[in-house]
Amino acid sequence: MRVDRATGWLDAAWRRLSPNHDERPDGMAVDLIVVHGISLPPGQFGGPWIDALFTNTLDPDAHPYFRTIADLRVSAHLLIRRDGDLAQYVSFQRRAWHAGASSFAGRSRCNDFSIGIELEGADHIPYDDRQYARLAEVIAALRTAYPTLAPDRLVGHADVAPGRKTDPGPAFDWARLRRLLGDAN
């Protein structure tokens, strides 16, 4: 697995192009990975709904919950589905709209300097083994392409938006991911 630095695309991912992105600020280095959890409808897995949300094609009549989010304009750089399948929505060179109002280490606007990785999951449902393996592979490829992504620059959405977001939730095993990455103490 490799990131093409010239284009910002991961060679192992399906491309599902989102219009929800823009330029990073001039000279802004990518130095943070934000891990998220998402399921649509909440607590349900599979189906086309996450792709539809990130590409602004979500049918508000397909599920009652979708009426509450159909007008959102959000994205992520990557999605790792339950089976480990990868979709990329936004080039790593661009700012994806994943973290919202956020801050890390005294810096606000985390979208400016982060890569957002969504895991198909829910806060209290264990993530799949294949997702951990794939996430570790992705992070290793990103760290090779972007040496500024140090081990201490890996956080959850809840860490950058406390009180507003809870994902990837208590079901996510951070220690397991760090062992897979070789980051464990």
Burial of 103 (0-12, 13-18, 19+ CB in 10 A): middle
Contact 127, 177 (CB under 8 A): no
Contact 16, 80 (CB under 8 A): no
The size of the chain, in residues, is 185
Peptide bond into 162 cis (omega under 30): no
118 carries an active-site annotation: yes
- Backbone angle region of 92, left / alpha / beta, with phi > 0 → left and psi within -120 to 50 → alpha: alpha
User: Cα 64 to chain center, whole Å?
Assistant: 25
H helix or E strand, kind and range, residue 15 = strand 14-15
Q: How large is the C-alpha radius of gyration of the chain?
A: 15
Active-site pick, 23, 118, 120, 137 = 118
Catalytic residues: 118
